[in-house]
Amino acid sequence: MTVLERQTGGEKQKTVNANKGSKRAKRDKRLRVPVLPEEEMMIKAKASEAGLTIAEYLRNLGLGYTVPSVIDNRQVDALLKINADLGRLGGLIKLWLTNDRRTKYIGKSQLHMTLDAIRETQSVMLNEIIKLRK
């Protein structure tokens, strides 16, 4: 990295320019932050939840950046399965409403059972989303 100085209205102003050939600036300065053992565990857990190293996590917070969220893949898979179930149930109702010949033996009671299944599936999906927000 190079530091360029230029005059602006009687003041010297420093501008840092990264060398175009270098891949990444080396971070060689360390900051020491005293914490309690409980705070250390919480910081490590939150960094892990965000998928970051402790240094990246603290640097992002210290610089005012938002810390990215990493969502558990199992929860995402569960939501995708629930969404697929809702799609299938919706397709069944669509067939019934269009008087498709394949649904001529489906009565109103079956339709109500399907609607109840949709409501139940929506409830499960909502619970999964609430888990993700925690």
pLDDT, one tens digit per residue, over 11-53 is 444 434 444 445 678 888 888 989 999 999 999 998 888 888 9
Average pLDDT, whole number, for the chain? Answer: 77
Tens digits of residue pLDDT in 66-92: 887 676 667 778 888 888 888 888 887
Q: Name which of 109, 111, 88 is nearest 99 in CA terms.
A: 111
Write the CA distances from 92 to 81, 96, 98, 118, integer angstroms. 17, 6, 10, 11
Cα dihedral sign, 119-123-125-129: positive
Report pLDDT for 134.
65
Does the predicted model carry a pTM greater than 0.85?
no
